[in-house]
Amino acid sequence: MKRKLILAAVGSIGLLALAFWWLSQQTEAPHEMPGLDPVIEAAALAVRGVSLLQGEKGFEFWRLKADWAAVHQENDVIDVREPKVRYTLGEGGDEEYVYVSSDLGRVTDGQRILTLWQHVRLTRGSAVITGPKLVYTADDRIVLFLDGAELDSPEMSGTFTRLRWNMGQKRIDGEEGIDVTFKARAFEADADGA
Q: What is the pLDDT of residues 92-139, one digit of tens each?
A: 666 689 999 999 999 987 778 999 999 999 999 899 999 999 999 988
pLDDT tens digits, 29-41: 333 323 445 555 5
In a domain, 193, yes or no: no
Please indicate, yes or no, whether residues 68 and 49 belong to a single structural domain of this protein.
Answer: yes
Please indicate, yes or no, whether residues 50 and 137 belong to a single structural domain of this protein.
Answer: yes
Please indicate, yes or no, whether residues 171 and 141 belong to a single structural domain of this protein.
Answer: yes
- Residue 192 pLDDT more than 80? no
Please indicate, yes or no, whether residues 97 and 161 belong to a single structural domain of this protein.
Answer: yes
How far is Cα 73 from Cα 57, in angstroms, rounded to an integer? 27
AA letter at 83: P
Nearest Cα to Cα of residue 133 among 144, 142, 124: 144
Count of CB atoms within 10 A of residue 83's CB? Answer: 24
Domain residues for 163? 38-182
- Residue 11 pLDDT more than 80? no
Q: What is the number of domains present in the chain?
A: 2
Comparison of pLDDT for 10 and 70, the residue scoring more: 70
pLDDT tens digits, 52-100: 888 877 778 889 999 888 887 666 788 899 999 998 887 666 668 999 9
In a domain, 18, yes or no: yes
Average pLDDT over residues 6-25: 45
β partners of residue 123:
99, 128
Please indicate, yes or no, whether residues 115 and 176 belong to a single structural domain of this protein.
Answer: yes
Please indicate, yes or no, whether residues 6 and 80 belong to a single structural domain of this protein.
Answer: no
Please indicate, yes or no, whether residues 70 and 146 belong to a single structural domain of this protein.
Answer: yes
Instruction: Please report the pLDDT score of residue 170 as a whole number.
Output: 81
Please indicate, yes or no, whether residues 28 and 52 belong to a single structural domain of this protein.
Answer: no
Please indicate, yes or no, whether residues 71 and 156 belong to a single structural domain of this protein.
Answer: yes
Count of CB atoms within 10 A of residue 64's CB? Answer: 23
How far is Cα 52 from Cα 108, in angstroms, rounded to an integer? 12
Where does the pLDDT of residue 21 fall: very low under 50, low under 70, confident under 90, or very high at 90 and above? very low
In a domain, 107, yes or no: yes
Count of CB atoms within 10 A of residue 9's CB? Answer: 10
Please indicate, yes or no, whether residues 17 and 108 belong to a single structural domain of this protein.
Answer: no
In a domain, 48, yes or no: yes
AA letter at 150: E
CATH code where residue 169 lies: 2.60.450.10
| Average model confidence (pLDDT) across the chain | 76
Phi and psi at residue 35, in whole multiples of 5°?
95, -20
In a domain, 190, yes or no: no
Instruction: Please report the pLDDT score of residue 3 as a whole number.
Output: 55
Share of the chain above pLDDT 90, in %: 31
Average pLDDT over residues 161-167: 91
How far is Cα 135 from Cα 90, in angstroms, rounded to an integer? 20
Q: Alpha-carbon dihedral of residues 61, 105, 151, 98, nearest 10 degrees?
A: -30
Any residues with CB less than 8 A from the CB of 43 and at least 6 apart, and which? 70, 71, 72, 79
No. of H helices and E strands in the chain?
2, 14
